[in-house]
Amino acid sequence: MKLNALMHVARDTDDIDDDLDFVFNHYYKARRWSIMPAEKGWKPLTDVYETDDEVVIVMDIAGITTQDIKLILIKNILTIHGIRRERHGQRKRHFHKMEIDFGPFERIIELPAPVDPERNNARYVQGFLEIHLPKREEALSGSIEISIS
């Protein structure tokens, strides 16, 4: 009997979570551009991991051209910034659902190990930016811009 009551409470909690998700995702996001400053930007989802030989950064930035992305490495800090342009132009429209972020973004990533920026491999494939940076013994000084193929 107690298990049934606990399952009922858990189901009620899930319903509350669903209701809150609905409010924030359907009401707030559809109106966010009128209340949130555009210069604040958005943050693309990013994975950073390392293997024995390299540090790898993978960023989900579908819909962005490589010309709109800039990568700068200073010591062990990688800065990635760019812009996803609005696909619909400025014509008047009424959104029923708005989940795709657009506008400027910037991610500043502290790399977990010193890397050799001269031997980088950055590419943009199927909406993902993949940056492979081979490890080295010590970090280089100065900065370098990384190009994307």
Reported as a single tens digit per residue, the pLDDT across 82-111 is 999 987 766 777 878 888 898 999 999 999
Architecture of the structural domain at 40-146: Sandwich (2.60)
Top pLDDT among 142 and 62 is at 62
* pLDDT value for 86: 84
Q: What is the dihedral sign for C-alpha 88, 92, 96, 98? A: positive
* pLDDT value for 93: 77
d(CA 131, CA 145) in angstroms, rounded, equals: 12
* pLDDT value for 105: 97
Q: Is the pTM of this model over 0.75?
A: no
d(CA 131, CA 48) in angstroms, rounded, equals: 10
For the segment 22-77, what is each residue's pLDDT rounded down to a tens digit?
Answer: 666 655 555 444 444 445 689 999 999 999 999 999 999 999 999 999 999 998 99
* pLDDT value for 14: 65
Return the DSSP state at 71: E
Which string of DSSP letters, residue by residue, matches 76-136?
TEEEEEEEE--TTTT-----S------EEEEEEEE-SS-B-GGG-EEEEETTEEEEEEEB-
* pLDDT value for 82: 96
Contact 122, 57 (CB under 8 A): no
Place 112 in a pLDDT band, splitting at 50, 70 and 90: very high
* pLDDT value for 38: 44
d(CA 68, CA 80) in angstroms, rounded, equals: 11
Q: Read off the pLDDT of each residue in 135-140 and give the average, rounded to a whole number.
A: 76
* pLDDT value for 107: 97
d(CA 68, CA 62) in angstroms, rounded, equals: 12
